[in-house]
Amino acid sequence: MSDAVEVVDLRAARTALRENAPLVHCLTNTVVQTLTANALLAVGAAPAMVDAPQEAGDFAAVASAVLINVGTVHERTAEAMRLAARSAGAAGTPWVLDPVAVGPLAYRTALAGELVGLAPAVVRGNASEVMALAGAGAGGRGVDSTAGADDAGSAAAGLAARTGGVVAVSGEVDLITDGTRTVRVGGGSALLTRTTGAGCALGALVAAYVAATGDPLAGAVAAHAHVALAAERAAATAAGPGTFAAAWLDALDAVGPDDLARADVRPA
């Protein structure tokens, strides 16, 4: 087994999340708040949606982890995101950046570039978003990627080296790197792409696992593996995207340490 996978003890990561029940402060888009909160609760974490500039910085300092998702960003929430990122950095709180739809839209692209400079523990996005954030592409079609995870490999590694953290690229097979070590996570279901907010919820689970493990690479890998495994189980019983969404939440709850240890995780 390669060093890239040896550092990720999935069984221990799942156990740690359940035992620690991390509080995840989510500054996320309005389309996905309910699913994100329910996904966190399903895996054993605790959600909070505090996005007022007057409170975001204070809450980021006491939370276990922070998610910053720019999906429906506007001036007020952008300021809250800046304050939360700075406060998290000062407090040593790990935080995750989800650069939704960066590239074609100048305002969010500039904001995401500013936030990258504040050293997120993990950047999580699709291939087009990661490439745009790294200056290697123009972005995708709205929230949809027009590139594959492998296309973003070098951009992800370069971005990880710049932030000193981890970059996770979602795709048919996810690619997760800290600039030196790279891990692939397989599995999942195409129904995830037809479930509004599944990717955004993944960002929150990354934050939860990073808080629980204390390791951005292990946390990002564990979160992606958990989401993929739950999606496979949900897809096996779902009649379509509607029933899949409910079944996926149930499956997120049901995945245990031994289940996660059998996930499709391998070196790149």
* Residue 97 parent element (H or E): strand 95-98
Structure-block tokens of residue 133: 């954030």
Candidates 246, 205, 242; CA nearest to 44 is 205
pLDDT confidence band for 144 (50 / 70 / 90): low
pLDDT confidence band for 3 (50 / 70 / 90): very low
pLDDT confidence band for 146 (50 / 70 / 90): low
**What pLDDT, on the 0 to 100 scale, is given for residue 149?**
74
pLDDT confidence band for 217 (50 / 70 / 90): very high
Q: Is the pLDDT of residue 107 over 80?
A: yes
pLDDT confidence band for 156 (50 / 70 / 90): very high
**What pLDDT, on the 0 to 100 scale, is given for residue 268?**
80
Q: List residues forming the annotated binding site for ATP.
A: 124, 170
* Residue 193 parent element (H or E): none
Q: Is the pLDDT of residue 142 over 70?
A: no
Q: Which long-range contacts (CB under 8 A, 24 or more apart) does 128-131 make?
A: 128/103, 128/152, 129/99, 129/100, 129/101, 129/102, 129/103, 130/99, 130/155, 130/156, 130/159, 130/167, 130/169, 131/103, 131/155
Amino acid code (one letter) for 234: A
Q: Is the pLDDT of residue 175 over 50?
A: yes
Q: List residues forming the annotated binding site for substrate.
A: 49, 197
pLDDT confidence band for 104 (50 / 70 / 90): confident
Its pTM stands at 0.94
Q: What is the mean pLDDT of residues 132-136?
A: 88
pLDDT confidence band for 4 (50 / 70 / 90): very low
Q: What is the mean pLDDT of residues 102-106?
A: 91
| Integer Rg of the chain from CA | 16
Decide if 188 contacts 228 (C-beta within 8 A).
Answer: yes
Decide if 68 contacts 204 (C-beta within 8 A).
Answer: no
**What pLDDT, on the 0 to 100 scale, is given for residue 139?**
55
Q: List residues forming the annotated binding site.
A: 49, 124, 170, 197
Q: What is the mean pLDDT of residues 153-163?
A: 95
Q: Enumerate domains of the chain plus CATH numbers.
A: 3-267 (3.40.1190.20)
Q: Is the pLDDT of residue 211 over 70?
A: yes
pLDDT confidence band for 5 (50 / 70 / 90): low
